[in-house]
């Protein structure tokens, strides 16, 4: 039995058999096998070589001929490497001598060779390391490919263990069978955390070397309340956790009973509670949990896990499905927030050196007009089915907003000419998630129908902290005075301009922040669906007067530690079970 401590990012407890997902981009973790499995592992390595050779022979005969001699030479070199007996022997010897998996041996041996090249001073030779990495990837695809496909076709319940999960990987999950997630990397706002919360399954991240300890099929307990993962627990521990898990479910049920009750404070102030969704099938979860609409419909899923662009009709159906579920209640559709960690980098010939400050989100859309217009067309066409609103992400200045709105009008004119119906009064809002947007909120408010504060990016850009980097993630906190002052500024400017302002970042889903946000003037929160009952419970337990007082106190504080400590103790008084 081994106990690992990480960061709890999605509540709940799961006990299950582990499924390990390896990623192409990361070092394959060292995993030892039973000596009796060595022969089978060596056979896997051999088959990987055979499969990779077949793949290359096909490629060599393929349309590459037109590409000229160079590409052919590259394939020819790779083929000779894959047929090199001394290379195969090196790998099988390692599996045999160290009792490790074929993928670990492949990765280690080839990276050793690559590092030899990298260390040569001659630029031409050192660049050959890229060829070796390519060969490594080809072999790893052979070894891991089937496993990866299996994720979509899972037949039994598992807990997923990985170094880190990419949006592409989670998009392929067969969600019915995933009971929990645990990753080596990541923080409170990593992709894994967001997906786990939206699915309502427990998750723990930042476990550092978990993938080196767990083997596929091991029994693993994921405690998403305390941030603990237990590998191969003893019977006593399993029994304790089964009891604990039942108690937790009981609390969840208690919260479910308030589902039908309104989100109103004790002094009768009505708060609008909306859900953040990533896939159309989550719309029903929002309703089940008592949400009153969708405050953030992320549309990137349309782009993930597919080689081609989603056509207009496909997008239309994805938007229509959600609009029909909500009928006369609002659904805010956010235009593609691609780039940075999502989608665009892996397709670039040369990755951007600093993608979070690069061509992402609205910038990417404004440079890819055909794609942007297709999405706006699909949204407009679907807008007649319900209360759709459109929202542009990562606006940093007024020109971007004007340009995006102009393109929207172009698309409207096109639809007019074609005689296609759409909602002419479609509301257009923006995400306020950069310091520049927050500082110029009074200007932006003149041309926006609503603001939605995206606290994740706002925090990251204000504090200059990469939220996914474990080395600095402790510096990432929306309770930092700098972030709070910006949030207050945005709310005040929205009030002055008389437009609606909501919060759709992760902080809105955290009970300890709710009082503060209400005290700052927020009346609309958009949160991850499974958290709706709990946040409603918080709302129903407070008065706006208490919240205002709390906000005044917090704004007078100078350090993040003081503020987050104060918020936590205030929340513990309201909802002791959740802490």
Partner 1 sequence: MQVGDEVLDKLVRETTVEIRNAAGLHMRPAMLFVDIASRFESDITVSSGPTNADGKSIMQMSMLAATCGTRLDIRAEGPDAEQALEALRELVEVRMFDEPPP
Known catalytic residues are 191, 504
The candidate with the shortest Cα–Cα distance to 333, out of 436, 452, 248, is 452
Q: Is 84 in the site for partner 1 (CB under 8 A)?
A: yes
SS3 235: helix
Closest to partner 1 by CB, 25 or 112: 112
Do residues 143 and 107 lie in contact, with contact meaning Cβ atoms separated by under 8 Å? Answer: no
91 or 448: whose CB is closer to partner 1? Answer: 91
| Of the residues 32, 65, 73, 93, which one makes contact with partner 1 according to CB under 8 A | 73
Binder of partner 1 out of 27, 61, 80, 270 (CB under 8 A): 80
Asked whether 46 and 13 are in contact (CB, 8 A), the reply is: no
Q: Contact between 76 and partner 1 (CB under 8 A)?
A: yes
Residue 56, interface with partner 1 (CB under 8 A)? no
Using rule CB under 8 A, residue 77 touches partner 1: yes
The alpha carbon of residue 374 and the mean position of all alpha carbons in its chain are separated, in whole angstroms, by 24
Work out the angle at residue 393's Cα, subtended by the Cα atoms of residues 392 and 394, and round it to the nearest 5 degrees.
Answer: 130
Nearest distance, CB of residue 25 and partner 1, angstroms = 23
**Pick 117 or 244: Cβ nearer partner 1:** 117
Is 128 a binding residue for partner 1 by CB under 8 A? The answer is yes
Q: Which of residues 111, 116, 363, 373 is near partner 1 by CB under 8 A? A: 116
The beta-strand segments (E) located in 294-386 are: 294-297, 330-334
Choose the binding region for partner 1 from 68-76, 200-208, 227-235, 260-268 (rule: CB under 8 A).
68-76
Q: Is residue 57 at the binding interface for partner 1, with CB under 8 A as the rule?
A: no
Q: Which of 34, 122, 413, 418 is close enough to bind partner 1 by CB under 8 A?
A: 122
Which whole-number Å values give the CA distances from 68 to 60, 71, 72, 125, 128, in the listed order?
11, 6, 7, 22, 20
E runs forming strands in 192-304: 203-205, 219-223, 228-231, 272-277, 294-297
Distance in angstroms (rounded) separating the CA atoms of residues 40 and 42: 5
Q: How far apart are CA 262 and CA 384, in angstroms?
A: 28
Q: Are strands 228-231 and 2-5 parallel, antiparallel or unpaired?
A: antiparallel
Q: Interface mask (CB under 8 A) for partner 1, residues 212-251, using x and -?
A: ----------------------------------------
Residue nearer to partner 1 on the CB measure, 139 or 151: 139
Residue 223: CB minimum distance to partner 1, A? 46
Q: Measured between alpha carbons, how far is 20 from 31 in angstroms, rounded to an integer?
A: 11
Q: Choose one: 23-31, 123-131, 233-241, 481-489; the region binding partner 1 (CB under 8 A).
A: 123-131
Residue nearer to partner 1 on the CB measure, 105 or 426: 105
Strands of the sheet containing 2-5, edge to edge, are 2-5, 228-231, 219-223, 13-21, 158-162, 178-183, 203-205, 7-10
- CA-angle at 233, arms to 229 and 239, nearest 5°: 105
- Residues 176 and 138: their CA atoms lie apart, in Å, by 31
Asked if 316 contacts 381 with a C-beta cutoff of 8 angstroms, the reply is yes
Nearer to partner 1, 65 or 112 (CB): 112
Number of H helices, E strands in the chain: 24, 16
Nearer to partner 1, 128 or 568 (CB): 128
Footprint of partner 1 on residues 490-529 (CB under 8 A)? none
Residue 85 lies near partner 1 (rule: CB under 8 A)? yes
Asked if 220 contacts 214 with a C-beta cutoff of 8 angstroms, the reply is: yes
Q: How far is the CB of 116 from partner 1 (least distance, A)?
A: 5
Task: Give yes or no for residue 93 binding partner 1 (CB under 8 A).
Answer: no
Q: Which of 36, 86, 155, 558 binds partner 1 (CB under 8 A)?
A: 86
C-alpha torsion sign, points 29, 35, 36, 40: positive
Name the helix (H) or strand (E) containing 160: strand 158-162
- Residue closer to partner 1 by CB (options 7, 110) is 110
Please work out the total of residues on this chain that contact partner 1, with binding judged by CB under 8 A. 20
When asked if residue 81 is in the footprint of partner 1 (CB under 8 A), the reply is: yes
The answer for residues whose C-beta is within 8 angstroms of residue 451's C-beta and 6 or more apart is 429, 430, 432, 441, 444, 445, 490, 494, 499, 500, 501, 502
Residues numbered 349-378 forming contacts with partner 1, rule: CB under 8 A: none
Among 9, 105, 113, 206, binds partner 1 (CB under 8 A): 113
**Using the rule CB under 8 A, is 125 a contact of partner 1?**
yes
Interface residues with partner 1 (CB under 8 A) are 73-74, 76-77, 80-81, 84-87, 90, 113, 116-117, 120, 122, 124-125, 128, 131
């Amino acid at each position: 039995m081994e106990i690992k401590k990480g960061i709890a990012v999605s509540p709940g407890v799961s006990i299950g058999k582990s499924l390990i997902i390896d990623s192409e981009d990361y070092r394959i973790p060292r995993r030892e096998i039973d000596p009796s499995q060595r022969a089978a592992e060596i056979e896997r390595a051999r088959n990987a070589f055979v499969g990779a050779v077949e793949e290359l022979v096909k490629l060599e005969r393929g349309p590459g001929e037109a590409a000229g001699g160079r590409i052919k030479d590259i394939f020819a070199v790779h083929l000779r490497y894959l047929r090199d007996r001394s290379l195969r022997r090196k790998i099988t010897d390692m599996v045999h001598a160290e009792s490790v998996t074929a993928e670990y041996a492949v990765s280690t041996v080839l990276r050793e060779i690559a590092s030899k090249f990298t260390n040569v001073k001659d630029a031409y030779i050192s660049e050959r390391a890229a060829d070796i990495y390519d060969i490594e990837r080809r072999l790893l695809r052979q070894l891991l490919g089937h496993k990866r496909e299996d994720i979509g076709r899972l037949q039994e319940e598992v807990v997923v263990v990985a170094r880190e999960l990419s949006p592409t990987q989670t998009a392929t999950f067969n969600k019915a069978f995933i009971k929990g997630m645990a990753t080596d990397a990541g923080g409170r706002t990593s992709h894994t955390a967001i997906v786990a919360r939206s699915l309502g399954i427990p998750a723990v991240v930042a476990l550092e070397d978990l993938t080196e300890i767990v083997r596929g099929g091991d029994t693993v307990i994921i405690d998403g309340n305390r941030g603990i993962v237990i590998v191969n627990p003893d019977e006593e521990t399993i029994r304790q956790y089964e009891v604990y898990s039942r108690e937790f479910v009981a609390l969840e049920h208690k919260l479910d009973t308030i589902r039908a009750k309104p989100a109103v404070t004790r002094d009768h102030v009505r708060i609008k509670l909306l859900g953040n969704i990533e896939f159309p099938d989550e719309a029903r979860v929002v309703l089940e949990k008592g949400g009153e609409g969708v405050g953030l419909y992320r549309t990137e899923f349309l782009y993930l896990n597919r080689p081609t662009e989603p056509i207009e009709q496909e997008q239309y159906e994805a938007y229509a499905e959600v609009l029909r579920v909500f009928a006369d209640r609002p659904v805010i559709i956010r235009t593609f927030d691609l780039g940075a960690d999502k989608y665009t980098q892996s397709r670039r010939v040369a990755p951007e050196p600093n993608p979070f400050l690069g061509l992402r989100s609205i910038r990417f859309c404004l440079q890819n007009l055909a794609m942007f217009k297709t999405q706006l067309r699909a949204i407009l066409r679907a807008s007649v089915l319900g209360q759709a609103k459109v929202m542009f992400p990562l606006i940093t200045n007024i020109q971007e907003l004007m340009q995006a709105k102009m393109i929207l009008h172009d698309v409207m004119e096109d639809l007019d000419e074609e005689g296609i119906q759409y909602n002419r009064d479609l509301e257009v809002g923006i995400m306020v998630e950069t310091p520049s947007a927050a500082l110029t909120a009074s200007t932006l408010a003149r041309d926006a129908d609503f603001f939605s504060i995206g606290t994740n990016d706002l925090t990251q850009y204000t504090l200059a902290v990469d939220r996914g980097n474990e080395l600095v993630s402790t510096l990432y906190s929306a309770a930092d005075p700098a972030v709070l002052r910006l949030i207050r500024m945005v709310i005040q400017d929205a009030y002055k301009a008389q437009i609606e302002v909501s919060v759709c970042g992760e902080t809105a889903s955290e009970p300890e922040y709710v009082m503060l946000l209400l005290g700052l003037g927020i009346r609309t929160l958009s949160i991850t669906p499974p958290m709706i009952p709990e946040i409603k419970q918080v709302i129903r337990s407070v008065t706006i007067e208490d919240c205002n007082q709390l906000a005044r106190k917090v704004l007078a504080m100078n350090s993040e530690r003081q503020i987050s400590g104060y918020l936590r103790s205030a929340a513990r008084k309201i909802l002791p079970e959740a802490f």
